[in-house]
Amino acid sequence: MKTTFINHEQLCEITKRYPTPFHLYDERGIRENARKLKQAFSWNKGFKEYFAVKATPNPYILKILKEEGCGVDCSSYTELMLSEAVGFNSEQIMFSSNVTPKEDFVKARSMDAIINLDDITHIDFLDKVAGIPEIISCRYNPGGDFTIGNHIMDTPGEAKYGFTYAQLVEGFKELKDRGVKKFGLHAFLASNTVADEYYPALAGVLFETAVRLKRETGIEISFINLSGGVGIPYKPDEKATDIIKVGDGVKRAYEDILIAEGMKDVAIYTELGRFMLGPYGCLVATVLHKKSIYKEYIGLDACATNLMRPAMYGAYHHITVMGKEDAPYNHKYDVTGGLCENNDKFAIDRMLPEIEIGDLVVIHDTGAHGFAMGYNYNGKLRSAEILLRQDGSTEMIRRAETPEDYFATLDFTAC
Ligand SMILES: *Cc1c(COP(=O)(O)O)cnc(C)c1O
């Protein structure tokens, strides 16, 4: 059975202070997991995790990760602003953007962030708008299918990101001519992968590419960024990634490919989002209505604007009816929100205990790409975010939106 980090009694106390719906985060889980990641890569002197801000863009969360030694991976102007406000600077910031506006590059350069270029034409563009820094990274797209054994993990050939190999060769030479002293290589080839082989296989591709680049251009890569993509077990029967095993697998590839080539000081970076936060957040909602027509429906006070993944990808999120963990799972429900969109369903044909109006429901694994993907369709307001501290106390780390927030960009007097 899949359990969550909060029990019914604690949650009843919390909902006395904060009305549902809200996202709840577990500080203890976040810290323990971050430490385990660090341990998994402790064999690499320069290792650093750059948390993908887009997954959970909240300064309190970023601050916890900063205390655990993480940097940040930003992709936009506002994510840079947020990271700056939390106190991240220069080499603690990776800027991995694409289709990048001028203002974003100017901002990233003003903060001395590490820029990870998405395209060869961005060399000229960056040079023109903000100048070329001494440290730079390029994103690689090997094209074709990315396979592990004979299993296709994803199809980089269909992805909009990165340089081809030929462009890497040309781009790195050009960057060297323009004064770059330190080079990085990045690739993101598969998303939400719980297979322990993913990072080692990706590392293999990047390490071999770094060796080839060195042989063909003489340029030595200083850091290799494995980016994000390490998954979490959303479903009860899925196995969690064994991050220690993953770290060992990357180490083996490092020794076989880089050390064998005399490249002993390459730092390993990661840009994990989902793995860092996903399991350490949940969406808490209350049952507002029950409806019985051709199917049985449970209507929550949360909807797809609070958690888009089920509606957008058909993603599975486990649901626990709090206080009924041990009751028989003998009712089949569609668990829905109130959007005027039939895809606003957190679960379809889910077997659950019998649900009553007023029951508290926890939707698991919303700590990453949960609140962050929220939107305002149907005039729905974004929820609060609450942090469960290690001592059991709670802190509101973002208040819920009000109608005033929703209308803030309109000027009624001018219409
Ligand atoms: C989204 C993203 C990440 C984080 O991805 P996860 O699947 O959350 O680990 C890392 N790097 C880049 C460039 C991204 O776009």
**Cα angle 203, 172, 152; round to 5:** 30
Pick from 278, 294, 311: which residue ends a domain? Answer: 278
Of 50, 53, 96, best ligand 1 pocket probe by most atoms within 8 Å of the beta carbon: 96
CATH number at residue 382: 2.40.37.10
Give a yes or no: residue 127 inside a domain.
yes
Determine whether 375 is exposed, middle or buried from the number of CB atoms within 10 Å of its CB (0-12, 13-18, 19+): exposed
Residues 264 and 297 in one domain: no
Query: Which contiguous run of DSSP H or E holds residue 172?
Result: helix 165-177
Whether the CB of 273 sits within 6 Å of ligand 1: yes
Give a yes or no: residue 23 inside a domain.
no
Decide if 30 contacts 58 (C-beta within 8 A).
no
DSSP codes of every residue in 237-273: TSPPP-HHHHHHHHHHHIIIIIGGGT---PEEEE--S
Residue span of the structural domain in which 230 resides: 28-278
Whether the CB of 55 sits within 6 Å of ligand 1: yes
Give a yes or no: residue 64 inside a domain.
yes
Whether the CB of 271 sits within 6 Å of ligand 1: yes
Q: Which two tokens stand for residue 250?
A: 């990357």
Write down the pTM of the prediction: 0.97
Question: In Å, how far are 167, 241, 282, 362 from 275, measured between CA atoms?
Answer: 31, 9, 14, 20
Residues 114 and 244 in one domain: yes
Q: For residue 371, what are the contacts with CB-CB under 8 A and spacing of at least 6?
A: 23, 56, 58, 281, 306, 307, 382, 383, 385, 398
> Between 165-177 and 198-217, two packed helices, what is the crossing angle to 10 degrees?
50
Give a yes or no: residue 178 inside a domain.
yes
Residues 327 and 357 in one domain: yes
Pick from 236, 260, 278: which residue ends a domain? Answer: 278
Interatomic CA distance for residues 330 and 352, integer angstroms: 6
Question: In Å, how far are 64, 83, 84 from 87, measured between CA atoms?
Answer: 12, 6, 5
* Cα(117) to centroid(ligand 1), Å: 15
Output the tens digit of pLDDT for each of the chain's 415 residues. 899 999 999 999 999 999 999 999 999 999 999 999 999 999 999 999 999 999 999 999 999 999 999 999 999 999 999 999 999 999 999 999 999 999 999 999 999 999 999 999 999 999 999 999 999 999 999 999 999 988 999 999 999 999 999 999 999 999 999 999 999 999 999 999 989 999 999 999 999 999 999 999 999 999 999 999 999 999 999 999 999 999 999 999 999 999 999 999 999 999 999 999 999 999 999 999 999 999 999 999 999 999 999 999 999 999 999 999 999 999 999 999 999 999 999 999 999 999 999 999 999 999 999 999 999 999 999 999 999 999 999 999 999 999 999 999 999 998 8
Give a yes or no: residue 19 inside a domain.
no
Q: Closest Cα to atom 13, ligand 1: which residue?
A: 96
Predicted confidence at residue 366, as pLDDT, reads 98
* Cα(74) to centroid(ligand 1), Å: 10
Whether the CB of 227 sits within 6 Å of ligand 1: yes
Residues 229 and 251 in one domain: yes
Whether the CB of 54 sits within 6 Å of ligand 1: yes
Whether the CB of 277 sits within 6 Å of ligand 1: no
Predicted confidence at residue 32, as pLDDT, reads 98
In this structure, what are the phi and psi dihedrals at residue 98, rounded to the nearest 5 degrees? -145, 160
Give a yes or no: residue 77 inside a domain.
yes
Q: Which two tokens stand for residue 218?
A: 């003489």
Residues 261 and 301 in one domain: no
Whether the CB of 370 sits within 6 Å of ligand 1: no
Q: Which amino acid is at 225?
A: N
Residues 345 and 384 in one domain: yes
Whether the CB of 191 sits within 6 Å of ligand 1: yes
Whether the CB of 383 sits within 6 Å of ligand 1: no
Residues 149 and 269 in one domain: yes
* Cα(272) to centroid(ligand 1), Å: 6
Interatomic CA distance for residues 184 and 172, integer angstroms: 10
* Cα(73) to centroid(ligand 1), Å: 8
Q: Closest Cα to atom 10, ligand 1: which residue?
A: 228
Pick from 230, 257, 278: which residue ends a domain? Answer: 278
Place of tokens 């690689």: 140
Give a yes or no: residue 214 inside a domain.
yes
Residue from 162, 136, 165, 58 nearest 398 by CA: 58
Residue from 387, 380, 384, 389 nearest 371 by CA: 384
For residue 230, which atom of ligand 1 is closest to its CA?
9
Residues 49 and 130 in one domain: yes
Residues 112 and 254 in one domain: yes
Decide if 29 contacts 279 (C-beta within 8 A).
yes
Total number of domains constituting the chain: 2
Residue from 138, 94, 85, 139 nearest 112 by CA: 94
* Cα(413) to centroid(ligand 1), Å: 42
Interatomic CA distance for residues 131 and 178, integer angstroms: 9
Predicted confidence at residue 121, as pLDDT, reads 98
Decide if 202 contacts 226 (C-beta within 8 A).
yes
Whether the CB of 118 sits within 6 Å of ligand 1: no
Whether the CB of 368 sits within 6 Å of ligand 1: yes
Residues 272 and 190 in one domain: yes
Whether the CB of 258 sits within 6 Å of ligand 1: no
Predicted confidence at residue 1, as pLDDT, reads 82
Predicted confidence at residue 337, as pLDDT, reads 98
Residues 268 and 242 in one domain: yes
Radius of gyration of the chain (CA): 23
Q: For residue 236, what are the contacts with CB-CB under 8 A and spacing of at least 6?
A: 1, 2, 318
Of 37, 53, 54, 94, best ligand 1 pocket probe by most atoms within 8 Å of the beta carbon: 54
Residues 148 and 261 in one domain: yes
Q: Which amino acid is at 68?
A: E
